[in-house]
Amino acid sequence: MTGLAQPRDDVPPAEAEREGAPARDGRGVERLIGRLRRKYGGRVTGELVMPARPGDFADFPGELDPRLAHALRGRGIARLYSHQRQAWEAVGRGRHTVVVTPTASGKTLCYNLPVLQAVLRDRAKALYLFPTKALSQDQVAEILELNQAGDLGVRAYTFDGDTPGDARAAVRTRGDIVVSNPDMLHQGILPHHTKWAQFFEALRYVVIDEMHTYRGVFGSHMANVIRRLRRICRFYGSDPVFIFCSATIANPAELAQQLVGELVAAITESGAPQGKRHLLLWNPPVINPELGIRASARSQTTRLARLALKAGLKTIVFANSRLMVEVLTKYLKDVFDHDPRRPARVAAYRGGYLPGERRATEKRLRAGGVDCVVATSALELGVDIGSLDVCLLNGYPGTIAGTWQRLGRAGRRNRPALGVLVASSDPLDQYLVRNPEFFLGSSPEHARIDPDQLLILMDHVRCAAFELPFREAERFGRESLGEMLSYLEGQGLVHLEGDQWHWMADGYPANTVSLRSVAEGNFVVVDTTGGAKEVIAEVDYSSAAMTIYQGAIYMVQAQPWQVERLDWEGRKAFVTRTRADYYTDAIDYTKLKILDRFEEERIPAAACARGEVHLVRRVAGYKKIRYYTHENVGYGKIDLPDQEMHTSAVWWQADPRRLAEAFPNRWQALDGFLGAAYAMHFVAALLTMSERQDLGRAVGDSNATWFAAMGPDGRGRPQTLSGDAPDLEAGREFVPTVFLYDNYPGGVGLSAPLYDLRREVATRAAELVGACECSHGCPACIGPILVSDEQRGFSPKAAALRVLALFAPAAG
């Protein structure tokens, strides 16, 4: 019996055929939506239908080079979309330009047209920067196709870490368009700019695609790399025009202006046609009303994915963590890929897979060989994966912008598409699905950068001094350059002679500066099963402590490996194949110490302040969680070095006397602080329009003698960093503190806007908790409550409200 003749238990072949065929004309999507409404109407809390939109077209510009027009027609393009034409006009006037467009709206022509025109007419040069190598390669392939269609003779090359040494000279001297990434520009090109002299002299355009990824620390570094690039260009007598492309964010023009340091024209209306789109907000049903517990998002997402696949619809599932990608992939593979003789229908895609494996999955996706892909935000970027019908979000991605970007993955070529946002029990998720008008009416987030953050700025002043001597009259950023250079002189790095500051040290500063804030190098995961030694994955430094500790279950394409040993210094994790029926989840604690107070406001019952803090994070242990039942089947200890960070924070403290009046004992107060912090954290993320992971949250003592977290029994537990439990009642001082901190080394400027919103944070958090329908607290307001009210003897929800009333007396 062949594999094909075997009847499949999930979809009878006849049904698959009957339902699969109409999917191609779009009725499959409509039918699925109808079915979801009929069967699960109560779970759909909000719905949005975006009608199909016709395209808005414009003719080729009159001055378009005929060879280029010919090439476009050869690729089946007879007219432009209106935004492509607007970009042409703006760039033609020599203005820096940012184009904000949805997925698959032909954004690449917005920059390829002016660039190719300049190459053909004037042999001008262009530099394209993409945040990842994979995107660079796609881009070169696309230019080459256009090139071939019109026989243009334009030379486009990638220049990155993979470019062989003997090809580099040719790229430098012969490339019309050089496609690279910020890290390569920073470490490989700018410090060797004399080798690129010809290129810089003729540089007319710099194209920066996926601009929305340049936020936070990475964006702050990028703005400084651009300062250095423009400085080098001035040396060679050129002043290139910058063309940015971005997914939707609240402030594209502002971000582009911060990146380039000059005014930028913004084009935000897409002229591309769009198919009809449905968006459903989906709340899992309540399964334990007493504890406010809902069915997991995971179970709902799996069910929706199964329905979509059975209806013959190509589906993408986004999960918010790499772990969840693996868990969902396993569950779906258990249904659809249990016969190893058939090609797999379900694939996982996430960061950490080896590049070759990712390329292979992308190729299978484009070729339509995969019916369902489960991915992290790694697929948010412009990786071309062809057209999909359904997009499922397992949990809110954390931002409005990220949500729309992921949803944009479905419904490319003018076909109706369905997106479903499945809420998790997280308060942010619950807030959104319960207040659909908030989500559907909200603008996407601001992308914030702080190019003058002192540590980052100093890093680039060093790099720039290496590249060219600074003149005394020069400027670099908003801080005083002279003062910065004097500081570097004190460190023995630069030397003032005449009116010039020269680099005078043995070293190569760019190699000590990483743009991506994790300077510590990747870990590799080495499979040692059966004496082999094969690298199966990479893990970045920041997530190593949480994912590859000794004893962890590490998954690749839903296959489990167990970590036998973690070599922290050597950056290696040795794993072996395992058949474990559980996965592991790390538990971490954070402790903060206040170093300096910048500003402070006292109200009668409390104080709120902003300042510098020192943070220690410890990954203390992990839980073993059984598949499907999700019960806790054990704990393990993790022995890893602490991670330390210096950043800025906003914190709230209650007046000790008022606190003592409000609570019968300190334990209850502590539970109140933990609940209040939980609610304040997500309100703060919403109000500052930042991503939740940009802000960290901690509850502890202001002197950092103890910190608190939710223990396995669901009660607040104070702990010292050495692991002892302090006696709360014994100490004379009891000043519990809620910290919300900027989650980047040095900070990227989040604490100042947060401090300005301090009253609203407390007020809105009190409103949120007060209005929640649960009885004693739930994951949607103050966090998961495991111990029922009776055992505890008091309501943690009421405790949190009491704390918030101290912080925001008006709302109390």
Partner 1 sequence: MDLKQRLSLLRRDAPRQHAPPLSDRLGRLGGAAPGRPMPDEETARLLGGECIAGGLILVEQMLPLAARHGAQPLSEVREAPLSLLAGDGPVDSGGLLFLDTETTGLAGGTGTLPFLLGLARIEGEVLRLRQFFLTGFKGEAALLEQALPWYRQARHLVTFNGKCFDLPLLVTRYRLARRAEPFGPLGHIDLLYPTRRAFARNWPDCRLQTAERRLLGFVRSDDLPGHLVPQAWFDFVRLGAADRVPAILLHNRWDLVSLAALAAALARLYARPEHDEADLLAIARAHRRNGDMHQAYRQLRERRQRLDDGGLLELAALHRRNGEWDEAAKIWEQLAQRGSAEALERLAKYQEHVRRDYRAALALTRLLLERQGAKPGHLRRQSRLAGKLGS
Q: Which residues make up the interface to partner 1 (CB under 8 A)?
A: 191-195, 197, 454-455, 458, 465-469, 479-480, 483-484, 487, 490-493, 495, 497-498, 500, 502-509, 511-512, 514, 519-520, 595-596, 612, 614, 644-646, 745-746
Q: At closest approach, how far in Å is the CB of 497 from partner 1? A: 5
Rounded to an integer, what distance in angstroms lies between the CA atom of residue 235 and that of residue 252?
29
**Nearest CB to partner 1, comparing residues 353 and 501:** 501
**Nearest CB to partner 1, comparing residues 70 and 516:** 516
Smallest Cα–Cα separation from 713: which of 656, 671, 753, 764?
Answer: 671
Q: Side by side, which strands form the sheet with 44-50? A: 44-50, 277-282, 417-422, 390-394, 315-319, 372-375, 346-349
**Nearest CB to partner 1, comparing residues 512 and 629:** 512
Q: Interhelix angle for 454-467 vs 216-235, to 10°?
A: 30
Q: Which residue has the tokens 């953050």?
A: 453
Amino acid at 546: M
**Nearest CB to partner 1, comparing residues 123 and 192:** 192
Rounded to an integer, what distance in angstroms lies between the CA atom of residue 112 and that of residue 91?
11
Spatial contact of 648 and 614, defined as CB atoms under 8 Å apart: no
Which alpha helices (H) appear in 642-785, and where do they start and end?
656-662, 666-687, 751-756, 758-771
Q: Which residue has the tokens 């963590």?
A: 321
CA distances 492 to 470, 488, 501, 507, Å, are 16, 6, 12, 12
Q: At closest approach, how far in Å is the CB of 172 from partner 1? A: 12
Centre a 10 Å sphere on the Cβ of residue 311 and count the other Cβ atoms it contains.
22
Q: 3-state class of 352 per DSSP?
A: coil
Q: At closest approach, how far in Å is the CB of 484 from partner 1? A: 7
Spatial contact of 345 and 374, defined as CB atoms under 8 Å apart: no
Which residue(s) pair with 177 in the sheet?
Answer: 126, 156
**Nearest CB to partner 1, comparing residues 454 and 725:** 454
Q: At closest approach, how far in Å is the CB of 447 from partner 1? A: 23
**Nearest CB to partner 1, comparing residues 313 and 615:** 615
**Nearest CB to partner 1, comparing residues 165 and 530:** 165
Q: At closest approach, how far in Å is the CB of 491 from partner 1? A: 5
For 444, list phi and psi in degrees, rounded to 5: -70, 170
Using CA of residue 222, residue 225, residue 230, residue 231, what is the dihedral sign? positive
**Nearest CB to partner 1, comparing residues 437 and 497:** 497
For 127, list phi and psi in degrees, rounded to 5: -115, 125
Q: At closest approach, how far in Å is the CB of 224 from partner 1? A: 16
For 115, list phi and psi in degrees, rounded to 5: -65, -50
Q: At closest approach, how far in Å is the CB of 103 from partner 1? A: 36
Q: At closest approach, how far in Å is the CB of 552 from partner 1? A: 23
Smallest Cα–Cα separation from 161: which of 142, 200, 189, 140?
Answer: 189
β-pairing, 572-577 vs 559-567, is antiparallel
Element (H or E) spanning 460, and its range? helix 454-467
Q: Which residue has the tokens 């007598």?
A: 237
Q: At closest approach, how far in Å is the CB of 686 from partner 1? A: 29
Centre a 10 Å sphere on the Cβ of residue 255 and count the other Cβ atoms it contains.
25
**Nearest CB to partner 1, comparing residues 31 and 502:** 502
- Where are the extended beta strands (E) located within 230-354? 241-246, 265-267, 277-282, 286-288, 293-294, 315-319, 346-349
Q: At closest approach, how far in Å is the CB of 650 from partner 1? A: 18
**Nearest CB to partner 1, comparing residues 578 and 643:** 643
The residues, any chain, with a CB within 8 Å of residue 539's CB and separated by 6 or more, are: 352, 522, 523, 524, 525, 547, 548, 573
**Nearest CB to partner 1, comparing residues 501 and 561:** 501
Report DSSP letters for 547-571, one per residue: HSSTT-EEEETTEEEEEEEEETTTT
Q: At closest approach, how far in Å is the CB of 165 from partner 1? A: 11
Angle at 777 between CA 774 and CA 779, to 5 degrees: 95
Q: At closest approach, how far in Å is the CB of 450 from partner 1? A: 13
Q: At closest approach, how far in Å is the CB of 228 from partner 1? A: 12
Q: At closest approach, how far in Å is the CB of 466 from partner 1? A: 3
Q: At closest approach, how far in Å is the CB of 691 from partner 1? A: 22
Rounded to an integer, what distance in angstroms lies between the CA atom of residue 61 and that of residue 54?
21
Q: At closest approach, how far in Å is the CB of 241 from partner 1? A: 24
186: DSSP letter: I
**Nearest CB to partner 1, comparing residues 197 and 798:** 197
**Nearest CB to partner 1, comparing residues 236 and 794:** 236
CA distances 713 to 183, 466, 723, 786, Å, are 46, 56, 17, 7
Rounded to an integer, what distance in angstroms lies between the CA atom of residue 191 and that of residue 174?
20
**Nearest CB to partner 1, comparing residues 505 and 721:** 505
Q: At closest approach, how far in Å is the CB of 227 from partner 1? A: 16
